[in-house]
Amino acid sequence: MAEVGTRTADVMAAVRAKIAARALAPGDRLPSIRRFAATMGVSPSTVVEAYDRLAAEGLIRAQRGSGFYVSSHALPPLKLAEDGAPRARTVDPFWVSRQSLDADEAVPKPGCGWLPADWMPNEALRRAIRTLARGGDDMLSYYGNTRGSPVLRRLLLARFAEEGIEVAPDQLMLTSTGTQALDLVCRFMLRPGDTVLIDDPCYFNFQALLKAHQVKIVGVPYTPAGPDVAAFERLLEAERPRLYLTNSALHNPTGATLSPQIAHRVLNLAARHETTIVEDDIFADFEPEPSTRLAALDGLDRVVRIGSFSKTLSASVRCGYVAARADWIEGLVDLQVATNFGGPSPVSAELIAHVLAGGGYRKHMEELRRRLVRARRETADRLQRLGIEPWLSPRGGFYLWCTLPEGRDSTGVAQAAFAMGVVLAPGNVFSPSQGASRFMRFNVAHMADPRIDRVLATALAGD
Amino acid sequence: MAEVGTRTADVMAAVRAKIAARALAPGDRLPSIRRFAATMGVSPSTVVEAYDRLAAEGLIRAQRGSGFYVSSHALPPLKLAEDGAPRARTVDPFWVSRQSLDADEAVPKPGCGWLPADWMPNEALRRAIRTLARGGDDMLSYYGNTRGSPVLRRLLLARFAEEGIEVAPDQLMLTSTGTQALDLVCRFMLRPGDTVLIDDPCYFNFQALLKAHQVKIVGVPYTPAGPDVAAFERLLEAERPRLYLTNSALHNPTGATLSPQIAHRVLNLAARHETTIVEDDIFADFEPEPSTRLAALDGLDRVVRIGSFSKTLSASVRCGYVAARADWIEGLVDLQVATNFGGPSPVSAELIAHVLAGGGYRKHMEELRRRLVRARRETADRLQRLGIEPWLSPRGGFYLWCTLPEGRDSTGVAQAAFAMGVVLAPGNVFSPSQGASRFMRFNVAHMADPRIDRVLATALAGD
């Protein structure tokens, strides 16, 4: 937090000591600034600073125009109740999110969906932050325009073009987060009772989000080359889904890649049944080279592309985007103004643009891809020694979708591991049909802690 | 954007010149790094840097493992279509948001809802940003926990206590923005077809947001001391609203303050009819001293308090909050994970906590309040000379809610002013009943441009 000068800290300590010793009771007025400055042998501005900081902490309060008083309210406890103490809960699609987001930093989390902090481009981000501190007042103060930072949008258009996806400027908007991009699209396209097709298995939060929209969720079996086309066709006919939601590149949780043939057929079938496709491309930059994209084949006619920078750049500087038909973007912009009063924090968009524009990002991603190749191989070897087998060998990314030994239930294993202080991602949180009880998703970048193997072995033995 | 060294800039210029002169055509491979470094008399790393930057711009593209190629795609236009060119649109509740968010910086905006950049605590924010650049990797990389920064939550609890609002740690969560805080509460509490009571007039975006929830909107007439209690009671009986949504302190757009008597009666009536109250306290810090709060009277039983830091600290570093019953917060946290995968950017929360914890924030707000007293008086004088009369003299904040001369229609005046390059906020965008056609909301901090008086006089004469 803010640095405190020694003298200010002394004055603060003196006030705290008086309160602790009951020389000042709740409701008492503090000595005047001038008097206390004389007592402490410091300047009045030091006392002002100390009082202001104590007021910000809640120990004393400023009565506008009449001085400072000892707060009559008990201080909130230093440690907030829920921090560092994730509760046991039902293992539902929220389970992994809450356990991995709220777990203590020290807890090994092979179940989480992000890279360790020291794998991220932190130095590039620090440079961007220092540049921001030298920037103008407007950048630091204003809401930004309704589609988000023009600089970042321009960089994104260039990157899309590099992947072969033609996007016009009026087909792109920034959003607070990648998840919020999907949420906006769902609000725009769906009504309660509509049907949405998702992959089985798929990213667990898709189910949580769609439940918030009160729609019917139908799963299509996912193969190592994309959705099962025959099942896809049957479901389009039987269920008439409004949307099909998928990851094409490095599918979550399987790490599979959509083949060009399946992409082509999925798109034709969607066109025939007037189903819109939402393609979440959040893992795109982890591919060794771009694979087939539905958005590239379709040209954003029937496909909406969404994504964010949380996996490759920073999840602490949040920003997502939607690329879609211009008239849809127009509607989505209004919806984002209504529900969020605009898009991401402009400072976040500025930081991301700065990192992307700097030459270091591509180099960082190349190194990251090499590092992940090794980590996938090493993790697969370690898991195989425990009888845990990867379903396929992904061409990129940080997930391995694995089967546990015969007869093991991954929910039970995850609960047992959680009790031993390791957060895992059991298969059924990803499966709309609950048909993945023998599967488990492993994040190969979070396997450094040697305890993990022991905990896994114990959990597997005990289940 | 990122600083570019002279040599890197030279290499970039050389490549641009080759492309402009057609010495390199779309699809051509660029000279190898080693060869071009020799040609230019620079180090290979300078060429890498230059190529990476040109790739980030989209002029060339990196083919992983095989070198760099001139992009075969036309570059997106330098100026995005909509930037700086706000379109003429229907004057609906979106009108003011979009016109004021998307207008060029140079356009005077007495219709907007924020302070000029140079009225904001930018130096404190810059200090916070520099401290952030020195912070740890975890802070720069991770999603943060599901309720948002513990440091900022703790500071908020202390501030609430100072205002007499008792909030336990498990009754508070951070959100992406203040608007998103309201949106989450609406998603949690409302179903399509429910009825929501809002003030007439009220903040225009409340209507836009509620429309996105497909609820029935009913307005209660607002008096200089709060909602008209007799009308409030009749509407509770006739409409059985699920929610009543209001600003108590410095009501937007009127600047009125809720009286203790009305607060007490509103709360009792809401209790009798089982209506939940959402109190948006975004202007709280602009009051000379805290006035009666529904949340303080009620103790967060029937009242949900929401707010943000966009008006007093920065709208570019976005963060909001919800304080409510602990069991509701629990549900809201899950909903925010599902729809946004967590709360505000952790870096945003960190920056805000840093500014609030520093002693300078209170001083800044005191100065700001003094400055606004003057600005309100001067603006009232200028407007009165044009026959525009403030409805009341607010005790704080930056809005004046005014009546135009007899027979004038504020929508027409706003459209005429917009054609002359001034963004105004006509009364009916705030009025669910469309009964405020003679009213206009003025932001006293955006009246510096002397053209405004001339434009107003012309628009009034022409209407």
Residues 6+ apart with CB under 8 A from B266: B226, B227, B229, B232, B244, B258, B277, B294
With cut-offs at 50, 70 and 90, classify the pLDDT of residue A58.
confident
CA-to-CA separations, A167 to A153, A162, A227, A299, A303, in angstroms, rounded: 11, 11, 26, 8, 12
With cut-offs at 50, 70 and 90, classify the pLDDT of residue B17.
confident
- Answer whether A97 sits within 8 Å of B170, measured CB to CB: no
Q: How far apart are CA B272 and CA B116, in angstroms?
A: 43
Q: Which of A117, A145, A146 sits opposite B138 (nearest CB)?
A: A117
A401 contacts A87 by C-beta, under 8 angstroms = no
Question: Using a CB-CB distance cutoff of 8 angstroms, which residues of chain B are in contact with residue A331?
Answer: none
Q: Which of A145, A150, A209 sits opposite B339 (nearest CB)?
A: A209
Tell which wins on pLDDT, B462 or B347.
B347
What is the rounded average pLDDT of the residues A297-326? 95
pLDDT at position A302:
94
Question: Using a CB-CB distance cutoff of 8 angstroms, which residues of chain A are in contact with residue B146?
Answer: 97-98, 101-102
- Answer whether A144 sits within 8 Å of B101, measured CB to CB: yes
Judge whether residue B25 has pLDDT over 80.
no
Question: Using a CB-CB distance cutoff of 8 angstroms, which residues of chain B are in contact with residue A177?
Answer: 176, 340-342
Question: Using a CB-CB distance cutoff of 8 angstroms, which residues of chain A are in contact with residue B356?
Answer: 56
Rg of the Cα atoms in chain B = 26
Q: How far apart are CA A199 and CA B44, in angstroms?
A: 46
Task: Please count the other Cβ atoms lying within 10 Å of the Cβ belonging to residue B81.
Answer: 13
pLDDT above 70 coverage of chain A, percent: 94
3-state helix, strand, coil in chain B (%, to 5): 45, 15, 40
Which class is domain A93-119+363-462?
alpha beta
Q: Smallest CA–CA separation between A395 and chain B, in Å?
A: 14
- Answer whether A137 sits within 8 Å of B122, measured CB to CB: yes
Q: How far apart are CA A360 and CA B316, in angstroms?
A: 26
Q: Is B45 on the interface with A (CB under 8 A)?
A: no
pLDDT at position B1:
40
Q: Crossing angle of helices A326-340/A178-189, nearest 10°?
A: 110
Q: Is B307 on the interface with A (CB under 8 A)?
A: no
Q: How far apart are CA A347 and CA B350, in angstroms?
A: 13
Q: Is A148 on the interface with B (CB under 8 A)?
A: no
Residue-wise pLDDT for A205-238, tens only, equals 999 999 999 899 999 999 999 999 999 999 999 9
Which residue in the block uniquely carries the two structure tokens 């090499």? A370
Which residue in the block uniquely carries the two structure tokens 């306290």? B281
Q: How far apart are CA A282 and CA A320, in angstroms?
A: 9
Q: Smallest CA–CA separation between B446 and chain A, in Å?
A: 14
- Answer whether A82 sits within 8 Å of B170, measured CB to CB: yes
Query: Choosing among A341, A362, A369, which should be mutated to test the B contact, i.e. which has the most B CBs within 10 A?
Result: A341
Q: Is A38 on the interface with B (CB under 8 A)?
A: no
Question: Using a CB-CB distance cutoff of 8 angstroms, which residues of chain A are in contact with residue B150?
Answer: 80, 83
Q: Across the beta sheet with A399-403, what order do the strands follow?
A: A389-390, A399-403, A439-443, A425-426
Please tell me the least confidently modeled range out of A77-91, B83-97, B278-292: A77-91
What is the rounded average pLDDT of the residues A418-437? 94
A443 contacts A398 by C-beta, under 8 angstroms = yes
Q: Which two tokens stand for residue A206?
A: 């898709």
Query: Residue A368 — φ and ψ, nearest 5°?
Result: -60, -45
Question: Using a CB-CB distance cutoff of 8 angstroms, which residues of chain A are in contact with residue B315?
Answer: 141-144, 346
Instruction: State the DSSP string of A199-250.
Output: EES--HHHHHHHHHTT-EEEEEEEETTEE-HHHHHHHHHHH--SEEEE--SS
Which residue in the block uniquely carries the two structure tokens 């985007």? A321
With cut-offs at 50, 70 and 90, classify the pLDDT of residue A87.
very low
Residue-wise pLDDT for A193-208, tens only, equals 899 999 999 999 999 9
How does the average pLDDT of chain B come out, rounded? Answer: 90
Q: Is B436 on the interface with A (CB under 8 A)?
A: no
pLDDT at position A3:
55
What is the rounded average pLDDT of the residues A249-269? 96
pLDDT at position A105:
79
Judge whether residue B74 has pLDDT over 60.
no
Judge whether residue B176 has pLDDT over 70.
yes
pLDDT at position A7:
87
The span from the first CA to the last CA of chain B, in angstroms, equals: 45
Q: Which two tokens stand for residue A368?
A: 């990251």
With cut-offs at 50, 70 and 90, classify the pLDDT of residue B118.
very high
Which residues 108-147 of A are in CB contact (within 8 Å) with B?
A: 114-115, 117-118, 120, 122, 125-133, 136-147
A320 contacts A344 by C-beta, under 8 angstroms = yes
The conformational region for residue A250 under phi > 0 = left, psi -120 to 50 = alpha, else beta, is: left
Rg of the Cα atoms in chain A = 26
Task: Please count the other Cβ atoms lying within 10 Å of the Cβ belonging to residue A166.
Answer: 15
Tell which wins on pLDDT, B373 or A15.
B373
Strand stretches in A6-63, DSSP E: 60-63
Question: Using a CB-CB distance cutoff of 8 angstroms, which residues of chain B are in contact with residue A176?
Answer: 176-177, 180, 318, 340
Q: Which two tokens stand for residue A250?
A: 């490095």
- Answer whether A162 sits within 8 Å of B58, measured CB to CB: yes
- Answer whether A80 sits within 8 Å of B154, measured CB to CB: yes
Q: For domain B6-70, give the CATH number.
A: 1.10.10.10
Give the β-pairing of B399-403 and B389-390: antiparallel
Q: Is A158 on the interface with B (CB under 8 A)?
A: yes
Q: How far apart are CA B164 and CA A135, in angstroms?
A: 38
With cut-offs at 50, 70 and 90, classify the pLDDT of residue A285.
very high
How does the average pLDDT of chain A come out, rounded? Answer: 90
Question: Using a CB-CB distance cutoff of 8 angstroms, which residues of chain A are in contact with residue B62?
Answer: 162, 362
With cut-offs at 50, 70 and 90, classify the pLDDT of residue B101.
confident
Please tell me the least confidently modeled range out of A287-301, B49-63, B358-372: B49-63
Q: Which two tokens stand for residue A308?
A: 């964010």
**Nearest 10 degrees: Cα torsion A190, A193, A195, A199:** 90
Judge whether residue B86 has pLDDT over 50.
no
- Answer whether A2 sits within 8 Å of B357, measured CB to CB: yes
Q: How far apart are CA A392 and CA B32, in angstroms?
A: 36
Query: Residue B462 — φ and ψ, nearest 5°?
Result: -75, -20
B83 contacts A169 by C-beta, under 8 angstroms = no
Q: Which residue type sits at A227?
A: P
Q: How far apart are CA B419 and CA A450, in angstroms?
A: 68
With cut-offs at 50, 70 and 90, classify the pLDDT of residue A359.
confident
pLDDT at position B3:
55
pLDDT at position A5:
76
Q: Which two tokens stand for residue A17?
A: 């000591």
With cut-offs at 50, 70 and 90, classify the pLDDT of residue A41.
confident
With cut-offs at 50, 70 and 90, classify the pLDDT of residue A191.
confident
Residue-wise pLDDT for B411-461, tens only, equals 999 999 999 999 999 999 999 999 999 999 999 999 999 999 999 999 999
The conformational region for residue A133 under phi > 0 = left, psi -120 to 50 = alpha, else beta, is: alpha
* Chain centroid, CA B220 distance in Å: 25
Judge whether residue A448 has pLDDT over 50.
yes
pLDDT at position A74:
35
pLDDT at position A155:
94
- Residue B32 is classified by DSSP as P
With cut-offs at 50, 70 and 90, classify the pLDDT of residue A111.
very high
What is the rounded average pLDDT of the residues A112-116? 95
Q: Which two tokens stand for residue A280?
A: 């979440």
pLDDT at position A435:
95
The helix (H) or strand (E) run that includes residue A261 is helix A260-272
Q: Where are the domains of chain A?
A: 6-70, 93-119+363-462, 122-357
pLDDT above 90 coverage of chain B, percent: 71
B388 contacts B375 by C-beta, under 8 angstroms = no
- Answer whether B161 sits within 8 Å of A71, measured CB to CB: yes
Residue ranges in B134-259 assigned as alpha helix (H): 137-141, 150-162, 178-189, 204-212, 229-239
Residue of A nearest to B126 (CA): A133
* ipTM score: 0.82
- Answer whether B337 sits within 8 Å of A170, measured CB to CB: no
pLDDT at position B174:
98
Q: For domain B93-120+362-462, give the CATH number.
A: 3.90.1150.10
Query: Residue B438 — φ and ψ, nearest 5°?
Result: -95, 0
**Nearest 10 degrees: Cα torsion A409, A415, A417, A422:** 130
With cut-offs at 50, 70 and 90, classify the pLDDT of residue B248.
confident
Q: How far apart are CA B243 and CA A462, in angstroms?
A: 50
pLDDT at position B76:
33
Question: Using a CB-CB distance cutoff of 8 angstroms, which residues of chain B are in contact with residue A73?
Answer: 161-162, 166
What is the rounded average pLDDT of the residues A422-450? 96
Beta bridge partners of residue A400, listed in sequence order: A442
- Answer whether A359 sits within 8 Å of B317, measured CB to CB: no
Tell which wins on pLDDT, B93 or B382.
B382
pLDDT at position A228:
98
Q: Which two tokens stand for residue B173?
A: 């969560």
Instruction: State the DSSP string of B72-117.
Output: SSPPPPSS-TTTT-PPP---SHHHHHHHHHHS-TTS--TT-SS--G
Q: Is A181 on the interface with B (CB under 8 A)?
A: no
Q: How far apart are CA B394 and CA B258, in angstroms?
A: 11
Residue-wise pLDDT for A139-179, tens only, equals 999 988 899 999 999 999 999 988 888 899 999 999 999 99
- Residue B29 is classified by DSSP as B
pLDDT at position B20:
66
pLDDT at position A78:
25
Q: Which two tokens stand for residue B217?
A: 């909107």
Fold of domain B122-357: Aspartate Aminotransferase; domain 2 (3.40.640)
- Answer whether A132 sits within 8 Å of B129, measured CB to CB: yes
Judge whether residue A73 has pLDDT over 60.
no
The helix (H) or strand (E) run that includes residue B381 is helix B360-385
- Answer whether B359 sits within 8 Å of A140, measured CB to CB: no
Q: Is A406 on the interface with B (CB under 8 A)?
A: no
Residue-wise pLDDT for A286-304, tens only, equals 999 889 999 999 999 999 9
Judge whether residue B366 has pLDDT over 60.
yes
